[in-house]
């Protein structure tokens, strides 16, 4: 036991930290692709790139939700 912490509290804080960090990493990467590179709204690129971006967005969102569910269901 480090610093007198209960092991259950340590596991709970690790769940919180991992959930927040993975969600922020996902959010920043999607925002970078969508807004900075313009894949979410530009009209001067092919519609195929926009569709692929939104398919990627939906797929990675499903994977993120699955990851969060598995972390918090343990």
> Which pLDDT score is estimated for 2?
58
Tally the domains of the chain.
1
- Residue range(s) defining the domain that contains residue 32: 7-73
Residue 1 lies in a domain: no
Residue 27 lies in a domain: yes
Closest CA to 37 of 47, 25, 49: 49
Residue 17 lies in a domain: yes
* Rounded Cα gap, residues 60 and 22, in angstroms: 12
What is the mean pLDDT, run by run of 10 residues, along the chain of 74 residues? Answer: 78 96 98 92 89 96 98 91
Residue 62 lies in a domain: yes
* Cα 66 from chain centre: 11
Residue 32 lies in a domain: yes
Residue 39 lies in a domain: yes
Residue 2 lies in a domain: no
Structure tokens at 28: 């920043």
Contacts of 72 (CB under 8 A, 6+ apart): 15, 19
Whole-structure pTM value: 0.86
């Amino acid at each position: 036991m480090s610093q007198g912490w209960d092991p259950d509290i340590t596991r709970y804080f690790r769940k919180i930290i991992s959930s927040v960090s993975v969600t922020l990493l996902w959010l920043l990467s999607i925002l970078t692709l969508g807004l900075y590179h313009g894949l979410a709204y530009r009209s001067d690129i092919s519609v195929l790139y926009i569709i692929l971006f939104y398919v990627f967005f939906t797929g990675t969102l499903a994977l993120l939700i699955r990851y969060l569910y598995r972390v918090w269901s343990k």
